[in-house]
Amino acid sequence: MTVTAPPADSRVIALAHFAARAVLEHVLARHGATYPQQITLRTALTADGPLDADALVARVASTLRADPESVRATVGELLTKGLLTDEGPHIGPTAAGRELFATVGAETAPVSARIYAGIPAEDLAVAGRVLAHVTERANAELAALNAR
């Protein structure tokens, strides 16, 4: 496959993000879930240890660049659906939450494999390094803007 590659910029990065996100959202919709719910569930599942509600909300808000109140609403949706549980001061995934996350992962894995098929590992490594730098610099710029 030959692709005429435009230089990487915010538009190109956004187009790739939204194209891949649309694939995930298609799968999530079949399960009655949303992208923010998936990110919140993943955050709870992959945490190094138990998270209280404030820590979970802060992590997801940072990841999604969302306001904390909308993330709290998403946590509430997941609690209502029985995908997260409020275990005293901690919030964690339920068996149903783990199952949904695994199911979505299994359904998206073959699509992801097709999307990345044939892209040389060296190209993926370069893209990963470039995106890590862009993320770091954009985060620094956002912090500077917020500090004003």
pLDDT at 128 over 60: yes
What pLDDT was estimated at residue 49?
Answer: 86
pLDDT at 4 over 90: no
Count Cβ atoms within 10 A of the Cβ of residue 23 and give its class: 0-12 exposed, 13-18 middle, 19 or more buried.
middle
Kindly state the average pLDDT of the residues 48-64.
Answer: 94
Cα–Cα distance for residue pair 90/148, rounded to 1 Å:
34
Asked if 84 and 78 count as a contact pair (C-beta separation under 8 A), the reply is: yes
The mean pLDDT value of the chain amounts to: 94
pTM (2 d.p.) = 0.88
Digit-coded pLDDT (tens) for 29-48:
999 999 999 999 999 999 99
Asked if 74 and 36 count as a contact pair (C-beta separation under 8 A), the reply is: yes
SS3 87: strand
Kindly state the average pLDDT of the residues 39-64.
Answer: 95
Cα–Cα distance for residue pair 123/89, rounded to 1 Å:
44
Greatest Cα pair distance in the chain: 54
